[in-house]
Amino acid sequence: MSGTKKKTIIAIILALSVVLGTVGYEFYKNEYSKQQAEKEAEALAQQEAEALAAEQEAARQAEEEREKKGYGDNPLTGLVIADSALGKRPAAIMVENSESARPQWGMDDENYSPDIIMEAEVESGITRTLWIFADFSALPETVGPVRSARPPYVRFSELFDSIYIHWGQSETLGFYIGADDVIVEDGVDNINELDFKSDTEFFYRSDERDVGLEHTGVIMGKNLPQVIEDYGYRTDVNKNRFTTFDFYDDDTRVSDTDCNEIIIDVSSRSWTKHWTYSQEDGLYHTDDFKNDLTRKNIIVMYDETEYITKPRASFSYCNYALDGGEGKYATQGSVIDIVWNVENGKLVFRDKDGQIIKLNHGKTYIAWISANNGGNIEIR
């Protein structure tokens, strides 16, 4: 074989070697890359599975912790509520607050105290309270003394799409517009003891206290669902007229401003209310109702008030504008300034920056106080 042919063959062999080497290298590189990608995918999948498992475990623990704390879906407290009560209308009960009425039946019930207690003036410095229960089938055994309706309380109950329960009502006379006309004009679903001819299994007069007859009217809470059914009232809540609240995930101080004591005067005529914060249970306490009433949240609403005297009356009714104003929100030993308004038929609380405030899980006391007739709050 000539030298030229040998050189050619060698060149071809070398070229093939380079080509085969290159092909082999590329094959190896691709195979290696594929294996690496598979390993990385497996590792990523493992990480994602572990992250998902950790997330699920954290959610389980969080839910377990919520259950321990009693957190749930009650739209007024953020606490546990029966599934059957979700989406249902609350009950709002007009309860007396004169000296002879205290301690009120059911106010501090261990299991079924009101979700919201609102206090305002009715007349001559006398206050009454409105008790709102998100679950009308879960009331104290006995509630009262139940007293007569007043326009501000009726209108306040409407902000929660409540079924309003009372024992009589103020009546329109002269230029005073009474609760009787407000109930009719606003189409308020109400249950009035005066519609009953005598004591029933729902309304009756208690004889266990030596007080005047007007301080003895009570209701049997367990029988309210049947009475509502007998009246034929709607029980599904109208969400467009139902005030609900947002809640923090856990107990939260709302500011660095301490609020260990709250002293409230509803007006210059009314009695003074003292609330004291306890770090042991994280609640505000008062014995002014002649019991140990506790609340997680204290809200104060300043509003314009007007005193109106009916013809031949010896006292002046107190009317509220229900037109918005400033206020305070106290919880966890802290306090912030708030602004409240009625927006689209709902009660809305905002902070000074205009953001809707959150509440801590628990029950609330609302003091509806006069901005122009001596209402006052002192924070210590």
> Residue 59: which H helix or E strand, with range?
helix 3-69
Total of domains in the chain: 2
Of 51-65, 300-314, 356-370, where does mean pLDDT reach its minimum? 51-65
Percent of the chain scoring above 70 in pLDDT: 88
Higher-pLDDT residue of 300 and 310 is 300
Whether residues 61 and 87 share a domain: the answer is: no
Whether residues 135 and 246 share a domain: the answer is: yes
What's the pLDDT score for residue 27? 62
Average pLDDT along the chain: 91
Whether residues 111 and 205 share a domain: the answer is: yes
Q: Please report whether residue 311 resides in a domain.
A: yes
User: What does pTM read for this prediction?
Assistant: 0.85
For 96-144, write each residue's pLDDT tens digit.
Answer: 999 999 999 999 999 999 999 999 999 989 999 999 999 999 999 999 9
Whether residues 7 and 131 share a domain: the answer is: no
What's the pLDDT score for residue 49? 84
Whether residues 177 and 324 share a domain: the answer is: yes
Whether residues 139 and 272 share a domain: the answer is: yes
For 6-23, write each residue's pLDDT tens digit.
Answer: 666 666 666 656 555 665
Whether residues 46 and 89 share a domain: the answer is: no
Q: Please report whether residue 362 resides in a domain.
A: yes
Q: Please report whether residue 76 resides in a domain.
A: no
For 136-171, write each residue's pLDDT tens digit.
Answer: 999 999 999 999 999 999 999 999 999 999 999 999
Q: Please report whether residue 197 resides in a domain.
A: yes
CB of 375 within 8 A of CB of 266? yes
Whether residues 11 and 129 share a domain: the answer is: no
CA torsion through residues 13, 18, 21, 22, sign: negative
Question: Whole domain around residue 27: which residue ranges?
Answer: 1-69
DSSP lists the bridge partners of residue 307 as 318
For 183-232, write each residue's pLDDT tens digit.
Answer: 999 999 999 999 886 667 799 999 999 999 999 999 999 999 999 999 99
DSSP lists the bridge partners of residue 131 as 93, 117
Whether residues 147 and 20 share a domain: the answer is: no
Q: How far apart are CA 291 and CA 136, in angstroms?
A: 23
Whether 241 shows a pLDDT value over 60: the answer reads yes
Whether residues 202 and 324 share a domain: the answer is: yes
Q: Please report whether residue 75 resides in a domain.
A: no
Whether residues 46 and 98 share a domain: the answer is: no
Q: How many CA atoms lie within 13 A of 198 on its CB side?
A: 0
Point out the domain boundary residue: 69, 97, 112. 69
Whether residues 91 and 65 share a domain: the answer is: no
Whether 315 shows a pLDDT value over 90: the answer reads no
Q: Please report whether residue 53 resides in a domain.
A: yes
Q: Please report whether residue 74 resides in a domain.
A: no
What's the pLDDT score for residue 55? 76
Kindly report the CATH number assigned to the domain that includes residue 238: 3.50.90.10
Q: Please report whether residue 343 resides in a domain.
A: yes
Report the pLDDT averaged over residues 232-242: 97
Higher-pLDDT residue of 171 and 34 is 171
